[in-house]
Amino acid sequence: MSEILLQVQGLGVTYASARGKVKALEGLDARLHRGEFLAVLGPSGCGKSTLLKLVAGLLRPSAGRVTLAGEPINGPRPDVGIVFQQPTLLPWQSTLNNVLLPIRTLRRDLAQGRRRALELLQLVGLETFANHYPGELSGGMQQRVGIARGLVHDPALLLMDEPFAALDAMTREHMMLELQRIWMATCKSIVFITHSIPEAVFLADRIVVLSARPGRTIRELSIDLPRPRTVATMGEPRFNSICNELRSLFTELVHFN
Ligand SMILES: Nc1ncnc2c1ncn2[C@@H]1O[C@H](COP(=O)(O)OP(=O)(O)OP(=O)(O)O)[C@@H](O)[C@H]1O
Ligand SMILES: [Mg+2]
């Protein structure tokens, strides 16, 4: 296996709020190899988005450490792209300008960025909406703008928090195939958070399953289905038996909750 890009060790996060302390993660260990596609599966509220925000450098751990290429993560980094669970678009900016946000923040070449942004808008099926504003788009369309924004600066590490959850079944399937294609063509490393077992099995090289809150790794599974995976892969017995194995694990998790 290739070098470890991202390492999470003994990670703990406790939120302090007016309602008291909430332990979101405790003693979580995980790693991502360079070029790997890792899916993180876990029940709602177990701390998946918290984990993503930590790796993105948007939140500090209460315990443990997170390193990227051996360096502790101290804040947001230019070589990391993030697709948030909510689209989080700027309502006063057009679709194109929202996608261009990382290009402007990182002071990259704007003409080249614009070309890439338009390519990505085409990829997510929104090329005719470049000049529309977020308020004129559906929830699923806004989420696709968020996906284009996460990819526009060509980050080596892409963090995706349930990016396809708001999409209709047809678009979701199309986006899964496209994401696999982009990943295979560009050698990116991806952390993909999802609730969907088939989505995780279809996309991932490895799946990390988190416990109910406070989240920690309770299972790791390598997915050795050959690539490229296609729509037909989802009908194969091996695909279904992995999904069933994960489903029974989840049933146990929910019983423990
Ligand atoms: N800013 C915050 N202040 C206090 N508690 C928080 C905060 N953010 C998250 N939490 C709590 O931490 C826990 C983990 O939240 P998180 O959003 O990471 O879960 P999640 O696994 O992403 O859930 P979902 O699958 O529903 O998106 C939850 O119990 C949540 O209520
Ligand atoms: Mg979440």
Residue 257 pLDDT exceeds 70? no
Residue 254 pLDDT exceeds 70? no
Q: How many domains does the chain have?
A: 1
Q: Which ligand is nearest to the CA of 45?
A: 1
Is 197 a domain residue? yes
Distance 44 CA to ligand 2 centre (A): 7
Is 142 a domain residue? no
Tens digit of pLDDT for each residue in 61-83? 999 999 999 999 989 999 999 99
Distance CA 81, CA 155 (A): 5
List the CATH number of the domain containing 242: 3.40.50.300
Decide which of 225 and 17 is more confident. 225
Is 85 a domain residue? no
- CA angle, 178 as apex, 203 and 248 as ends, to 5°? 25
Is 56 a domain residue? yes
Tens digit of pLDDT for each residue in 208-219? 999 999 999 999
Residue 207 pLDDT exceeds 60? yes
Is 240 a domain residue? yes
For tokens 């924004």, what's the residue? 149
* Confidence at residue 11, expressed as pLDDT on a 0 to 100 scale: 96
- Could you tell me if the CB of 213 is within 6 A of ligand 1? yes
Closest-CA residue, ligand 1 atom 24, reads 44
Burial label for 83, CB within 10 Å (0-12, 13-18, 19+), is: buried
Is 178 a domain residue? no
User: Considering the chain, what percentage of its residues have pLDDT values greater than 70?
Assistant: 98
Compute the average pLDDT of residues 109-124: 95
Q: Which residues pair with 95 in a beta bridge?
A: none
Residue 255 pLDDT exceeds 80? no
Look up residue 134 and give its DSSP letter: G
Residue 239 pLDDT exceeds 70? yes
pLDDT mean across residues, the chain: 93
Closest to 154 measured CA to CA, from 98, 88, 78: 78
Is 244 a domain residue? yes
Decide which of 18 and 193 is more confident. 193
Q: Which domain holds residue 256?
A: 1-79+157-167+188-257
The amino acid sitting at 160 is M
- The beta strand positions in the chain, using DSSP E, are 4-17, 20-33, 37-41, 63-68, 71-72, 80-83, 157-161, 189-194, 206-210, 217-222
Is 61 a domain residue? yes
- Could you tell me if the CB of 45 is within 6 A of ligand 1? yes
Compute the average pLDDT of residues 155-163: 95
* Confidence at residue 1, expressed as pLDDT on a 0 to 100 scale: 60
* Confidence at residue 253, expressed as pLDDT on a 0 to 100 scale: 74
Distance 158 CA to ligand 1 centre (A): 21
Residue 256 pLDDT exceeds 60? no
